[in-house]
Amino acid sequence: MSRISALLALKLCLTVPVALGLGLPFISPSAGGGILRELAAFGVPGSIAIGLLFLSLVFLYCRDLHTTLSLIHPRSRAASPRSVWLMFLIPYNFIEDFFIILNVTRSLRRESSQNAVFGQFRNFGALSGIGWCSAQIVSLLPNDIGLIAGLAALPLWTLHWRRIRQANALLSANRGFRHSMMTS
């Protein structure tokens, strides 16, 4: 089995408990919490509106991650820019998000070693990125711990997104700088 096949098999195996966590409120409504509690709190129309707003924000976040990887020199990329769109592949995304964050962080670190525009920019958001991914997993627990983790994921996600936008600003403002450094 190749390394890529083994990694995909691992991701799929880890997705099984995520799928069960997502489905638990429907399988066992007496467990309490989860999406059924949210539906009860906001009603179906409110839940749909919140869901659409959230998916719109995920789209914008993915677009920024795509931009990051697109602006990074191809030799420094740990993944294709298109890979970030796997965040929409539910429930697989709960596991894949960790790999997306790690690949973007790894790509930014590689780029920073070749691109002086990063200067003192050494924090590429790995901690906040892995933090929101972890909190997202814990949020599947159908109790108050899950609710608190879900609420904690939002500011961590925002911090990570902010860091990505800062990196994009540096990269896009200095697009030709890396090349001129490499040729001199």
In a domain, residue 103? The reply is yes
Q: Is residue 3 part of a domain?
A: no
pLDDT at 40: 72
Q: What is the residue range of 100's domain? A: 31-176
Residue 4 lies in a domain: no
Full-prediction pTM beyond 0.85?
Answer: yes
| C-alpha dihedral (127, 137, 34, 54), degrees to nearest 10 | 50
The dihedral sign for the CA sequence 67, 71, 73, 76:
negative
What percent of the chain lies above the pLDDT cut of 90?
Answer: 62
Number of structural domains in the chain: 1
Average pLDDT of the segment spanning 98-123:
89
Residue 10 forms part of a structural domain: no
**So what's the pLDDT on residue 176?**
55
- Residue at 136 is within a domain: yes
Q: 27 pLDDT band (50/70/90 cuts)?
A: confident
Q: Is residue 153 part of a domain?
A: yes
Mean pLDDT of the region 130-155: 91
In a domain, 20, yes or no: no
Whether 35 shows a pLDDT value over 70: the answer reads no
* Intra-chain end-to-end CA distance of the chain, in Å: 44
Kindly state whether residue 88 falls inside one of the protein's structural domains.
yes
24 DSSP assignment? H
Lowest-pLDDT range of 34-43, 60-69, 90-99, 146-155: 34-43
